[in-house]
Structure 1
């Protein structure tokens, strides 16, 4: 793998392409030309057109989609047809299932959900539960937030507004009392304290990726929740359900994008806890970390951008180096945590230093 295409050069895609360009020949495509200068070739194109995508993928061995979830099924199918390795950041469950189905006959890798959540949180969770002979519970939590919240929502769209609305409205898959089931997103609210600061966490769709399938019959409790500042969930319930904006996602996106400006200072919170038995003894293993923006080659990158970008770039790199399978579907929880953290890009998680 030496030539890689990156589709979508927004807050995350531009960094994905920047990271990968340090090792590979990268070409990026977006519907508009970015204002900043980047160390890779950029072309302008309509990514919704099949002919555009096919022409873009010629002479490339891999493509990374950093586009909204609703564009990914067609791109994945085109990549599979052309024998091009495919990677994306989607949190959308129907998109996941469609890509998983098409991967059965694929001669290339199809690896969706390679971002932060799903993505790194699944690799982290698996790294913890793999230490147990019996698993009782797996709890995974992630929050991408403004460092200094304002207003009742206390939020800023540091990534796709479509994705946030999608994960708030679609049902979430969990294991509860050893039963695999669907629960309503924005429900099952809990309070969580990280580094002395209080947050709320509630169910959202897609964060577990394929983990329910992987742990079928092996776990009593398994769930993923999104972390926000207290009060956010109630406000979103009002907006999406009481005001019925759940029936008009386009309008909901417009209202929220207009109300919540992008911020420069953000924070990403990652928490995982696994309970079960190790050597016959009941144990609990935990991971808790927070990440803030960093500077790479003189350019500042938000926490959500670099944590997401280094995750998907790592999966691409591991496939290229032959450390992961070279065809078919890749589950995030199949990727060894140690291998991930020792890789060129995944090591950014290990070497990160809190600015405080």
Structure 2
């Protein structure tokens, strides 16, 4: 079947963006990569681009059928507006609520193209998993979604490494969280409602954090009694973060805190991404709880030229999820226009894509 998307622009060629572009190439798309700095030697065409240059951004997007923004969350709106103005499909990895609200507006104002934000892990893959589990239930009492991107070999009281954006992590910890309680949407403080989680014999703790549900609260309001998203960390982590933000009074100094944390806990290559989704309710007429638990490790990928490269778990899981969604739109498995919610994506369809099948092949907990 002929694809509706053939050429894809990827803006932001950091660790995730470079892999997004590579996986798109492996999936049969022609890729144009854009970054603020020259990136020679990659296996797809690259061009320097200043995304604050409105004219240059729009001209770059005129030459592609779709764009995947892999930029920091505060740059995505500019790309989304440019995509809307030239009529190309838009995808991003954001967890930022105001960004997604603007993307929804653009989808309403510009028919004919698809707007698919929140294509990462949380929001993104974890919502796809949770919604797919929920479809098998007669009635649903609760949907509990959790993700933890962690070092395999933690040290210190924090037990953490900043393999993801420090600014994003700090925002997750400090911004209020949207949840469903008694079937209604509510905003509650982050880093609360801590609980113990054990995955494959590894003890973790989980607490509410913001942004991970995307649009799910709106989708399930009135249909599900309880819905929330929590981030998983090693035990004691959230106590230390409360000390940092509250006792030291650093809640209003987010940028400074981000710098301190990255210097104290820099990235590591030996990471692991845990996914834990659980749905409770009535299934086939009986009370039931269904769990989907995975632990994704770094993997070595071989490109079309036979070159091997090992990618961190956080990088490949985020990139593969995003590229799988692009494939689904391109192949007509998802709507070709309007706002597309992650919870409308079937997990079995994602597993059937070139990139998404890695989630089916890897990560099962013994």
Asked if TM exceeds 0.5, the reply is: yes
2:225 paired residue number = 220
Aligned residue for 1:115, secondary structure, equals coil
Deviation at 1:34, TM superposition (A): 4.5
Instruction: Tell me, yes or no, if the aligned pair for 2:293 and 2:364 is still in contact at 8 Å.
Output: no
2:305 paired residue number = none
Instruction: Tell me, yes or no, if the aligned pair for 1:148 and 1:265 is still in contact at 8 Å.
Output: yes
Q: TM-score, normalised by structure 2?
A: 0.94
1:140 paired residue number = 145
Aligned residue for 1:87, secondary structure, equals strand
Deviation at 1:29, TM superposition (A): 1.2
1:317 paired residue number = 327
Instruction: Tell me, yes or no, if the aligned pair for 1:84 and 1:108 is still in contact at 8 Å.
Output: yes
Q: TM-score, normalised by structure 1?
A: 0.96
Instruction: Tell me, yes or no, if the aligned pair for 1:8 and 1:67 is still in contact at 8 Å.
Output: yes
Deviation at 1:294, TM superposition (A): 0.2
Deviation at 1:43, TM superposition (A): 1.6
1:201 aligns with 2:211: no
- 1:282 aligns with one of 282, 287, 309: 287
1:93 paired residue number = 97
1:44 paired residue number = 48
Q: 1:163 and 1:102 mapped to 2: Cα distance?
A: 24
Q: 2:11 and 2:258 mapped to 1: Cα distance?
A: 22
1:246 paired residue number = 251
Instruction: Tell me, yes or no, if the aligned pair for 1:92 and 1:167 is still in contact at 8 Å.
Output: no
Instruction: Tell me, yes or no, if the aligned pair for 1:105 and 1:328 is still in contact at 8 Å.
Output: no
Matches within 5 A, 1:100-115: 100-106=104-110, 107-115=112-120
The 1:126–1:268 alpha-carbon spacing in structure 2 relative to 1, beyond 3 Å, is same
CA RMSD in angstroms comes to 1.5
1:76 paired residue number = 80
- 1:329 aligns with one of 315, 339, 356: 339
Q: 1:304 and 1:319 mapped to 2: Cα distance?
A: 23
Deviation at 1:240, TM superposition (A): 2.1
Q: Give the gaps of 5 or more residues in structure 1.
A: none
Aligned residue for 1:78, secondary structure, equals helix
- The superposition leaves residues 239-286 of structure 1 with CA deviations (integer Å, 9 ceiling, x where unpaired) of 222223221222112111211111010000000110111222111111
Q: 1:317 and 1:330 mapped to 2: Cα distance?
A: 14
Deviation at 1:33, TM superposition (A): 3.4
Deviation at 1:354, TM superposition (A): 6.9
Q: 1:57 and 1:244 mapped to 2: Cα distance?
A: 44
- 2:315 aligns with one of 305, 311, 321: 305
Q: 1:47 and 1:157 mapped to 2: Cα distance?
A: 25
Aligned residue for 1:97, secondary structure, equals helix
Instruction: Tell me, yes or no, if the aligned pair for 1:275 and 1:285 is still in contact at 8 Å.
Output: yes
The 1:165–1:52 alpha-carbon spacing in structure 2 relative to 1, beyond 3 Å, is farther
- The superposition leaves residues 146-191 of structure 1 with CA deviations (integer Å, 9 ceiling, x where unpaired) of 1111111111111111111111111111111223201111111111
Aligned residue for 2:224, secondary structure, equals coil
Q: Give the gaps of 5 or more residues in structure 2.
A: 303-307
**Higher mean Cα deviation, 15-24 or 254-263?**
254-263
**Higher mean Cα deviation, 145-154 or 50-59?**
50-59
Q: 1:34 and 1:291 mapped to 2: Cα distance?
A: 29
**Higher mean Cα deviation, 178-187 or 133-142?**
178-187
1:150 paired residue number = 155
Deviation at 1:49, TM superposition (A): 2.5
2:177 paired residue number = 172
Aligned residue for 1:118, secondary structure, equals coil
- 1:345 aligns with one of 332, 351, 355: 355
Deviation at 1:288, TM superposition (A): 0.6
